[in-house]
Amino acid sequence: MDTAKITTKESLIQKAALTFNQQGYHHTSIADLAKACEVKASLFYYYFENKEALMQAVLEYVFEMSVKRLRLLAQNPELTPQEKLAKVTKFMEKLYLNTEGGCIMANTTLETALAAPVYLDTLKAFFEEWIAAYQLIYQSQYQPDKARELAEATVQDIEGGIMLTKLYQDKKYLLNALKRSERLLG
């Protein structure tokens, strides 16, 4: 993002997503967000009732921009299952190797699941869509129940890979998880 002041609702959401992802929900104040966006805190209140509403908008934005894209790749009839998975892998690499803080959806789940259950529906929908995308791809070679089981394991593996990549500052953990997902199609 350039150094120009951020003033649109979408640009505030995008920058807020980065800030929440780096600092966490509970450790990010509206003042922190205003500073990161180079705007007055009152601009956030023009668009959002409170920090909770802003976080909900961030989660919905991330949902729309990432998981729905995965679903479109998984449903593309012009690609083979292997091509779909290769494109999904490239998307995941780009998304998680170039983003500080890991997966904002997983981070928010861990940080707020018990304390702020207001986000649970959005977080569950995110992971359900992600799993469904992998399940759709895996169903080319597996029965639906087995494809679902493998899809759930893949998402769990990728999330663990993201966490270890951030912890050890070594991308091999995420890359290995993504390779394992590709090997499931042979």
Question: 12-40: per-residue pLDDT in tens?
Answer: 999 999 999 999 999 999 999 999 888 99
Q: Give the per-residue pLDDT at 1.
A: 41
3-state DSSP call for residue 27?
coil
| Domains of the chain, earliest start first | 55-183 (1.10.357.10)
DSSP state at residue 140:
T
Here the tokens at position 54 are: 């802003």
Residue 72 has pLDDT above 60, yes or no: yes
Q: Give the per-residue pLDDT at 3.
A: 42
Question: 101-146: per-residue pLDDT in tens?
Answer: 889 999 999 998 877 688 999 999 999 999 999 999 999 999 999 9
Residue 60 has pLDDT above 80, yes or no: yes
